[in-house]
Amino acid sequence: MAHQRFRFPEAIVETGWLAVHLNDPDLRVFDCTTYLEFTPDEARPYDVVSGHESHLHGHIPGAGYLDLQGAFSTPDAPFAMSLPRVEDAVRAFEMHGVSDGTRVVLYSRTTLPWATRFWWMLRWIGFDNAAILNGGFAKWQAEGHPVEQGENRYAAGKITPRPRPGVFVGKDEVLAGTDAAQTCVVNALSPDLHSGENDRYGRAGRIPGSVNVPAASVVEAESQILKPYSEIAAAFEASGASGAARQITYCGGGIFATLDAFLLHQLGCEDVAVYDNSMSEWANDPSLPMETD
């Protein structure tokens, strides 16, 4: 299995495990799907579309739905999917049934980073008993596991917050990190965006000095199953990321960066942060430096 050598193997579960444990009373399963529809507007390069309608038409039995652009973002923020306040995030997770004594499994209908975004948010508020579903909903369906329709909601829970504010950072900390010898800034976007060939987010290029480990490169493209540990470890080692004392990951809006951050954490890196608004903010701020090939 892809994850057995990771530091926290319990944070990655397989569909077979979930099928066996689906009725465990302490289990909370959530569909985390959001869709991005890209636009030609450099100031707002994508529209965010809820996956709730898709969820209603078919989901893992008992699963609830977490709406990233709803209670789990700051309303009316300049950038889509901006992190809410810690207390608001705690309250939102509680309202969806997360408690200190529950185990959470997160999945996506599309790509893994929608699940890792919520995993990283749970880590941010201090909740550690969460896992992502390897292969997500597509693998669940392909294996013939049951699917149900409609709305499910768990009874409200109670979380004891233990915030880790450093696991998300803003542009000032990223800028400082570009000059810090022990910090590696990691771009989770595709190589064409990293090089500057594609200018989707406004100014073309990357945060100066950042290395490129595309989130898409650490999963199997069709199945969204994590690649073997050896390949993932090699990718982060070759980039120099896993050898640094601190890592800051970024992408277009703080979603795909969470997969890189999740995996660096799994590789044993102790000080990993995600730049929340990422290139949606950085590339549109002319005071911030950019670099191209």
- The CATH class that applies to domain 9-164 reads alpha beta
For the segment 62-77, what is each residue's pLDDT rounded down to a tens digit?
Answer: 999 999 999 999 998 9
CB 47 within 8 A of CB 39: yes
Residue 7 corresponds to which amino acid? R
Mean predicted confidence (pLDDT) in 240-263: 98
- Locate the domains of the chain by residue range: 9-164, 166-282
Residue 215 has pLDDT above 60, yes or no: yes
Identify the CATH number of the domain defined by range 166-282.
3.40.250.10
Nearest to 278 by CA among 260, 264, 293: 260
* Number of residues in the chain: 293
Distance CA 276, CA 219 (A): 22
Mean predicted confidence (pLDDT) in 147-176: 98
Residue 190 has pLDDT above 70, yes or no: yes
Residue 2 has pLDDT above 60, yes or no: no
CB 185 within 8 A of CB 210: yes
Distance CA 150, CA 55 (A): 8
Nearest to 275 by CA among 252, 256, 248: 248
Mean predicted confidence (pLDDT) in 249-273: 98
pTM (2 decimals)? 0.96
266-270: long-range contacts, CB 8 A cutoff, minimum separation 24 = 266/3, 266/6, 266/7, 266/8, 266/11, 266/12, 267/6, 267/7, 267/232, 267/233, 267/236, 267/242, 268/7, 268/242, 269/242, 269/244
Residue 43 has pLDDT above 70, yes or no: no
9-164 and 166-282 have identical folds? yes
For the segment 167-180, what is each residue's pLDDT rounded down to a tens digit?
Answer: 999 999 999 999 99
Where does the pLDDT of residue 202 fall: very low under 50, low under 70, confident under 90, or very high at 90 and above?
confident
Contact partners, residue 40, CB within 8 Å, separation at least 6: none
Q: What does the pLDDT read at residue 1? A: 47
Mean predicted confidence (pLDDT) in 273-283: 96
Contact partners, residue 193, CB within 8 Å, separation at least 6: 187, 200, 201, 206, 252, 279
